Amino acid sequence: MSDNNPSREHSVAGDPEESAVEKRRRLRAEKLAPYMDDLPNAEKQAAQTLYLGPQQVFLGLGMLGFLMSLFLPHSGQVLGLDVLFFSDTAKAFVTTWPERIYVWTGVTGVLLLTGATILTRSSLIAYLSWFCSGASMFYSLFAIWMRQSRPPTEPGVGPSYGLVLGAVSVTVVALSLTRIVLRRSSFQSALAEARRQTPQASAVHKVQEELLAAQVDRDSHDVYADDRRSRAAKRRRANRDRARREGRDHPEGPVEGTV
C-alpha cells in the first residue's frame, strides 16, 4: 500500500534545502568566530579592503582601452601622447585645457590609481581613483564638445576615434569604481549583521549604563512633595487662633507669616 501523503513528500523534499541552509549558517558562523570578540574593529578593517569581484574585468578593459587611446589619433594628427606631453603638434592644432586635463586625470586615475587598486585592494586608493576617473569622464565629454564646437578659423579637426575610445574607457572605469566603493561586500554585511545581533559592551556603552542606573537610583530615593499649601493653611489657622485669644475675630491688615 503506497503512502500518498503530500505533506510527508514535501517534508522529505525540503530536508536537503534545510540542511543546505543550516550548513551555510554553520560555515558563516565559523568564518565570523575569530572576529566575534571585537566586531566593530573587525568591521572597520574589512571596510579598508575592497572586494572587486566581476568589476575587476571591467576595470581591466577600461585601463586597456584608455592605454590604447594614447597611441591613437586624438584629433586629426594629434595623438593622445601629444596631448599628454603637450608636444609641438598639440600646440600647433590648439589643444585646449579640458583636453589636457582629461588625459592627465585619465593617466592618473584610470591607469595608475586603478592599477594600484587592483593590486592592493585598498579602499583609500580606490576612492582616489574614483575621484580622478570621474573627473576624467567629465572632462572627456567636455573635450569632445569643444572639439566639435571649435571655430573654423582654428587649425585641426573634430574628435577622432582615439578620443572617443578614451572617453568610453574612462566612463567604464568610473562606473565600475562607483559600484565597488559604494557597496559593501558580503563579509562586511555579515559582520554588520552580527554586530547588530550581538550586544557589545563598549566603554561608552558601559558609562551610559552606569549613568542611567545612577539616575534611576537617585530618582527612586528622592521624593519631592509640594507641601507649601498645607504649611500656609497651618499658618493661617495659627494666626486665627492667636487673634481669637487676643479678642480679635477679624484681624485688620495682613498678618505676618501669611501667604
Residue-range domain boundaries for the chain: 55-188, 228-259
User: Consecutive 10-residue runs of the chain (259 residues): their mean pLDDT?
Assistant: 48 51 55 51 57 87 96 92 93 90 95 92 89 95 89 82 95 93 64 55 62 67 63 84 72 50
pTM above 0.85, yes or no: no
Q: Does residue 65 contact residue 169 with C-beta atoms inside 8 Å?
A: yes
DSSP-assigned states of every residue in 19-51: HHHHHHHHHHHHHHGGGGGGHHHHHHHHHTB--
End-to-end CA distance of the chain: 99
Report how far residue 168's alpha carbon sits from residue 69's, in angstroms, rounded to the nearest whole number.
10
Report how far residue 28's alpha carbon sits from residue 174's, in angstroms, rounded to the nearest whole number.
32
pLDDT at 53 (0 to 100): 80
CB atoms within 10 A of CB 18: 10
pLDDT at 54 (0 to 100): 85
Residues 6+ apart with CB under 8 A from 167: 102, 137, 140, 141, 143, 144
Report how far residue 193's alpha carbon sits from residue 28's, in angstroms, rounded to the nearest whole number.
12
Question: Which grid cell is 31?
Answer: 568564518
Q: Does residue 169 contact residue 69 with C-beta atoms inside 8 Å?
A: yes
Q: Does residue 82 contact residue 90 with C-beta atoms inside 8 Å?
A: yes
Question: Which grid cell is 174?
Answer: 568610473
